[in-house]
Chain A
Amino acid sequence: DAKTTQPPSMDCAEGRAANLPCNHSTISGNEYVYWYRQIHSQGPQYIIHGLKNNETNEMASLIITEDRKSSTLILPHATLRDTAVYYCIVSDIQGAQKLVFGQGTRLTINP
């Protein structure tokens, strides 16, 4: 069962930053926060993950609160191709491949 809660849907204007929240209040000390997305009719795509420090890569930034009970995925300059369902999951390293997705957030980027 998914251990995270996310808003079911969000909208964002093209070119603006998209901020996607995730609550994971029961996260354990050895569990990471992973973000994936699934564009319509395609397989899941890894975005980013982190343990407690903020992380940034070429796709996105991940901000994790100090108590680690929530996080925010930031797409700094959203494009129409970022329209997808975004999934936040928590897992230890060994369990990461199990990828138990919850409902996710359907992000729509508007022109």
Chain B
Amino acid sequence: DTAVSQTPKYLVTQMGNDKSIKCEQNLGHDTMYWYKQDSKKFLKIMFSYNNKELIINETVPNRFSPKSPDKAHLNLHINSLELGDSAVYFCASSPSDRFTEAFFGQGTRLTVV
């Protein structure tokens, strides 16, 4: 069983569209995260949730809206996609306050054309 699974793995879409990326973890972790890795491989955190509550929001445009229906899921919805949103998006989960035990998903490569 995959510990942290993201769907889809690849997403190609046109500018202006709205899309969602789903993330599920089966590890029983309390905290989940979204990261963005750009074309230069720089990785940056976007959001973190602890028990469905938003903990970190790193100055991400409000076109990005995370949604956590339960602590095993953290989905990322993106409105009005722009070319600059093209990147690999990683979901992760960890026990609360033990980030070094985090597991990452395989990533979703988003390409906006």
| A97 engages B56 (CB within 8 Å) | yes
Q: B-side binding surface: helix, strand, loop or mixed?
A: strand
Question: Interface on A for B, CB 8 Å cutoff?
Answer: 34, 38, 41-46, 49, 85, 96-104
CA distance A100 to B58 in the complex (A): 12
- Whether the Cβ atoms of A99 and B35 lie closer than 8 Å is yes
Other A-B pairs, 8, CB within 8 Å; known A97-B102, A99-B45: A38-B41, A41-B107, A43-B106, A43-B107, A97-B99, A100-B43, A102-B42, A104-B41
Residue of B nearest to A104 (CB): B41
With A98-B58, A99-B45, A102-B42: A46-B101 Cβ-Cβ less than 8 Å = yes
The number of chain B residues with a CB under 8 A from chain A is 25
A sample of 23 cross-chain residue pairs with beta-carbon separation below 8 angstroms, ordered by A number, consists of A34-B100, A41-B106, A42-B106, A43-B104, A43-B107, A44-B43, A45-B104, A85-B41, A96-B99, A96-B100, A97-B48, A97-B99, A98-B56, A98-B58, A99-B45, A100-B42, A100-B44, A101-B37, A101-B41, A101-B42, A101-B43, A102-B42, A103-B40
A46 touches B102 (CB 8 A): yes
Please give me the residue from chain A that is nearest to B90 by CB atom: A43
User: How many angstroms between the C-alpha atoms of A110 and B92 in the bound complex?
Assistant: 31
Report A-chain residues with C-beta under 8 Å of the C-beta of B100.
34, 46, 49, 96
The answer for the CA separation of A97 and B102 in the assembled complex, in Å, is 9
Smallest distance from the beta carbon of B66 to chain A beta carbons, Å? 15
> What is the bound-complex CA distance between A46 and B37, given in angstroms?
16
Shortest CB-to-CB span from A98 to chain B, Å, is 5
Which residues from B are CB-within-8-Å of A46? 100-102
**Which residues of A have CB within 8 Å of B40?**
103
Instruction: Tell me the B22-67 residues at the A interface (CB within 8 Å).
Output: 33, 35, 37, 40-45, 48, 56, 58
- State the CA gap A41–B44 with chains docked (Å): 17
Which single residue of chain B is at the shortest CB-CB distance from A100?
B44
Minimum CB–CB distance for A14 against chain B, Å: 25
